[in-house]
Amino acid sequence: MNWKRPLRDTLIMLGGVVAVMFVASWALNGLGNPNDIQNYYEVNLGHPYHEPYLGTSSFVYSPPAALLVSWLHLLPFPFVATAQRLLQSAALLVLAGPFTPIAIFTPQVASELNLGNINIYLALLAIAGLRWPKLWSLVLITKPSCAVGLLWFVARRDWAALRGVLAVTAGFVIVSVILIPQAWVGYFGVVTHPAPTLDGMPVLWLRLPIAAVVAVVGSLRTWRPAIVISVWLGLPVWELVSPVVLVGLLAFLWQSPVLDPAWRRGPADTQPPRVKATRFRGQSAAIE
């Protein structure tokens, strides 16, 4: 009897139970510290960038992202906070799988769930984006420096994937320009006056070239975990919770269903087709 799969499924269910207990504990005890969720909840489309970074209602994503979350204030805040944490927990389960019962007790993951940031989603989007590249548009409209991972497709000359990403992103931008054109002025102010770097943390302009190299080399060597590392290196600001992105690396250890089928079958199946010379009426080159 193969005991590995039942053990894996048991650990995944245990991780889900622990995550729900975490969320329920916050929901029943003053909601914890959902600071980032509050920033999304209180977005004012008329002036979304009125608060400085780390303010009580600061919003630092692009105008298209502001449009996507602008309806949240129509719902009760406790419901929004709880729903966000449950969605984060689901993303964690997809990425970490049987490692969730351990990962969720690390300070980075627990703090991420408490704050309600999107870093776990970024890891999931990066990995899923290898199968469905258009998902990278969500990275571009939230934390665009993390989209350095798109160099993966550049190195592989996958221009169709890049065109799809840019087309979807352009659609988001056009809609936001039509509906809230004034917001772009404020957003450029955010971009040109980046958030302060925490003491001891390397600034973005030092990390971004390394992230680019990691993405390109990983692409050329078909080493998919590189995409997660490049996104982590490309985060606009490194904070104490930033390593939560690296939870995405666990997806490759247990072969998460979000991985593309070629990776789950094994490296041999990711190689290009071989050309075998044959002889047929003076012709050659039949592809296996």
For 14-44, what is each residue's pLDDT tens digit?
Answer: 999 999 999 999 999 999 999 999 999 999 9
Here the tokens at position 146 are 């993390």
- The answer to the question of residue 233 being in a domain is yes
Domain membership of residue 89 as a residue range: 9-255
- The answer to the question of residue 281 being in a domain is no
Cα(208)–Cα(144) distance, integer angstroms: 12
- The answer to the question of residue 149 being in a domain is yes
Q: Give the pLDDT band of residue 148 (cuts 50, 70, 90).
A: very high
- The answer to the question of residue 264 being in a domain is no
> What DSSP letter does each residue of the chain carry, written as one string?
---HHHHHHHHHHHHHHHHHHHHHHHHHTTT---HHHHHHHT--TTSTT-SPTTSTT---S-HHHHHHHTTGGGS-HHHHHHHHHHHHHHHHHHHHGGGHHHHTTSHHHHHHHHHT-SHHHHHHHHHHTTTSGGGHHHHHTT-GGGGGGGHHHHHTT-HHHHHHHHHHHHHHHHHHHHH-TTHHHHHHHHHHSPPPPPTTPPPHHHHHHHHHHHHHHHHHTT-THHHHHHHHHT-SS--TTGGGGGGGGHHHHTT-TTS-HHHHH-GGGGSPPPEE---BTTB--EE-
Name the β-bridge partners of 283: 280
Q: Give the pLDDT band of residue 113 (cuts 50, 70, 90).
A: very high
- The answer to the question of residue 265 being in a domain is no
pLDDT tens per residue, range 229-265:
999 999 998 988 999 999 999 999 999 999 987 765 5
- The answer to the question of residue 148 being in a domain is yes
Count of domains observed in the chain: 1
Closest to 237 (Cα-Cα) out of 207, 275, 261: 207
Q: Is the pLDDT of residue 274 over 60?
A: no
Q: What percentage of the chain has pLDDT greater than the value 70?
A: 86
- The answer to the question of residue 181 being in a domain is yes
Average pLDDT for the chain: 88
Per the model's pLDDT, the better-predicted residue between 54 and 251 turns out to be 251
Average confidence (pLDDT) over 77-94? 97
- The answer to the question of residue 183 being in a domain is yes
pLDDT recorded at residue 279: 46
pLDDT recorded at residue 62: 95
pLDDT recorded at residue 1: 54
